[in-house]
Structure 1
Amino acid sequence: MPTTTRAAVVESGGAPFTLSDVVLDEPGPHEALVRMVATGLCHTDLGVASGALPFPLPGVLGHEGAGVVEAVGPSVTAVAPGDHVVLSFTSCGDCRNCRAGHPAYCATWLPMNLIGGRRADGTSTISRDGEPLGGHFFGQSSFAERALADERSLVKVDPDVPLTSIAPLGCGVQTGVGAVWNVLRPVTGSSVVVLGAGAVGLSAVMAAALTPATTVIAVDKVGERLSLAKELGATHTVDAGTADVGAAIADLTGGQGADGVVETTGSVAVLRQGVDALAARGTLVVVGAPPFGTEVSLDVNGLLAGKRIVGLTLGDSETRTVIPALVRLVKDGRLPLHRLIGTYPFTEIDQAVRDMSAGKTIKPVLTF
């Protein structure tokens, strides 16, 4: 049976989120109906809502959901009604990268998650007054009281951990953590620099604090965020508004430069600073996404010292391995994610957007 639910709909690029009754299709063979408990708000949602990406609007966004499974399609085996789940990105499960444990680089990733707005077979998951809406966002479209989610978007989690406290794991947190754990993989005594102390950057700081890196440097222009970074495990901070970032990194690393850099800001000027600040054989992970088609100029001879620049999607995570581990770290107090979260009733989604855009809240989480 189709399900009627309340959703936050973006009518057109640049329009606000407006609450509207929509109809969810009945679960397909590999889909589940999830009652949402909480969902994080991410810059990717705002980018699509602004019209910057070619997602079909009107549509329903949201891709950091957490909730309780209510019903499952006939072929679903990973979850059952009553299970607590964190919702993350979807993937085909059968291409070369999916089979190799890298579903964030699925051959169908872009249409299935970011710009398609429909299932792989072209059918719609959400409609209003008989007209299809853009949906299936990251396989979930969780800005709604109920979501029709792909089985591969669902990760069963410990029911003793409040879902509001772990909703952001599905995108922003696993992205920052994965940049450090899956790409940089710091060795004993190494240095990690995080450019930008937003939700992704602070997640990278927390992840770096759980590695053998002995120098963890957070860079931002906002003093409160730098102070928080210190509390979350940064050994040093650099105020990019007043300091020469390259000189500061050189000084804090004894002239060696950084072994690893995580660039979260999406600014090509900051990206260039990060590459220039790398040590020989150092690696910079590109996480922040500027508008499509953006290019950056680099000093080619500077790269010949073995520097590596690696692009990253969603932490290069295998979600069913990574997310339960992160939930355990949250539960044990070793990943203090609550320090980033500010909660808002779902009906106040536009206030959450304003607070996030103004920098008042690092990671807004909408509650149902």
Structure 2
Amino acid sequence: MRIQAALVESVGGPFTLRDVDIDEPRPDEILVRIRAAGICHTDLGTREVWPRLPMVFGHEGAGVVEAVGSAVTTVAPGDTVCLSYRSCATCDNCTSSRSAYCQAGIHTLNATGTRPDHSTPLSRDGSPVFGSFFGQSSFATHALAYESNCVKIPAGLDPVLAAPLGCGVQTGAGTVLNVLQPAAGSSLVVFGAGSVGLSAVMAAVAEGSSVVAVDPVASRRAMAQDLGAVATLDPEDLDDVATALHEITQGGAHHAIDTTGRSAVISQAIVALRRRGTLALVGIGKTAEFDIMTVMTKGIQLRGVIEGDAVPRTFIPHLIALHEQGRLPVEKLITRYPFSDIEAAARAAASGEVIKPVLTFS
């Protein structure tokens, strides 16, 4: 089947629309016509270093099922779906509602550019095109997904609102609701007010927490306040962010979330916590240096989090319910772009001009 996809054809190169061919679904695969796809910083960061080219990224897809393989039972042609990360569904973690930590690994099922058997469902002029990113590669008019990452949603839900639920919103809101579970009235500091951080702000405000957002971009700080943050800080205007946060939170925050993956920011977050506080590490990074004695003597808990500890088939419907109640106004984060403008949308996201660009498909 001939489709259109946004290919990255060189390391760090632009997204370029090309015609490619996609396989018919295998027994365990689901063919989805994409109606909207969010752009995540994981897509942007990964294309800067991805070695297997050409490649189709995209892991926040939403659309309509067009065909299913013979073994698929959870969705049918015509169903409206939201796509998320892929898991094996059979290991101990998957069967105990911890699929974000699937034993098959986020890398094996989501970030190799191929299916687990090393085949790719995409090709161009007979040559392989790498894909299967997060079990979808949704920067395309059609994608092949799986039961573990294909969640049926209400047909009337705007796909532009649904798409970011599959990763960015799920990660930020899930870190609050599934991991930190802050008590009403407790304090939470969010470092980095992009789509993940602001989703955490929304969820924490909905839970009755007192939220402070730290970000150097004025428009993002303004959005955090609009979403209910009690205060925001520009770290570039302060000599000591942690001291300022201790004053605002009256002795240190109960919880903190780092979405940046930066060592210096993680160190600030640790110091900003009160005794027995918890820091959730959400941002992708390689290494971090911090004062171990501070962590030990204050009894700080460090918690790594993937995908908000969320099981998509149950958590995405929960996020939709929160949105319907007005407690998760995802639409405030979104800027719409036609699929043909994907590179402009990517540049706007990378520069901080927009928070969550979502591609629309005619």
TM-score after normalising by structure 2: 0.96
Determine if contact 2:55/2:131 at 8 Å carries over to the other structure.
yes
Number of the residue aligned with 2:314: 321
1:120 positional shift: 1.7
Say which of 229, 236, 259 aligns to 2:224: 229
Q: Does 1:151 align with 2:144?
A: no
Q: Does 1:275 align with 2:259?
A: no
Say which of 187, 191, 196 aligns to 1:195: 191
Say which of 324, 342, 353 aligns to 1:331: 324
Number of the residue aligned with 2:214: 219
Number of the residue aligned with 2:248: 252
Report the Cα distance in structure 2 between the residues aligned to 1:223 and 1:136, rounded to whole angstroms.
Answer: 36
Q: Does 1:21 align with 2:19?
A: yes
Report the Cα distance in structure 1 between the residues aligned to 2:12 and 2:192, rounded to whole angstroms.
Answer: 25
Report the Cα distance in structure 2 between the residues aligned to 1:300 and 1:353, rounded to whole angstroms.
Answer: 38
Q: Does 1:5 align with 2:3?
A: yes
1:113-152 correspondence to structure 2 within 5 Å: 113-152=109-148
Q: How many matched pairs? A: 359
3-state DSSP of counterpart to 2:314? helix
3-state DSSP of counterpart to 1:101? coil
3-state DSSP of counterpart to 2:44? helix
1:10-159 correspondence to structure 2 within 5 Å: 10-51=8-49, 53-54=50-51, 56-159=52-155
Determine if contact 1:158/1:324 at 8 Å carries over to the other structure.
no
The letter of the residue matching 2:324 is K
Determine if contact 2:262/2:288 at 8 Å carries over to the other structure.
no
Number of the residue aligned with 1:178: 174
3-state DSSP of counterpart to 1:241? helix
Say which of 329, 333, 341 aligns to 2:334: 341
TM-score after normalising by structure 1: 0.95
Any gaps of 5 or more consecutive residues in structure 1? Answer: none
Q: Does 1:296 align with 2:288?
A: yes
RMSD of the alignment, in Å?
1.2
Determine if contact 1:155/1:323 at 8 Å carries over to the other structure.
yes
The letter of the residue matching 2:282 is V
Runs of 4 or more off by more than 4 Å in structure 1? Answer: none
Number of the residue aligned with 1:263: 258
Percent identity over the alignment is 51
Determine if contact 2:167/2:307 at 8 Å carries over to the other structure.
yes
Any gaps of 5 or more consecutive residues in structure 2? Answer: none
Determine if contact 2:86/2:110 at 8 Å carries over to the other structure.
no
Report the Cα distance in structure 2 between the residues aligned to 1:142 and 1:109, rounded to whole angstroms.
Answer: 20
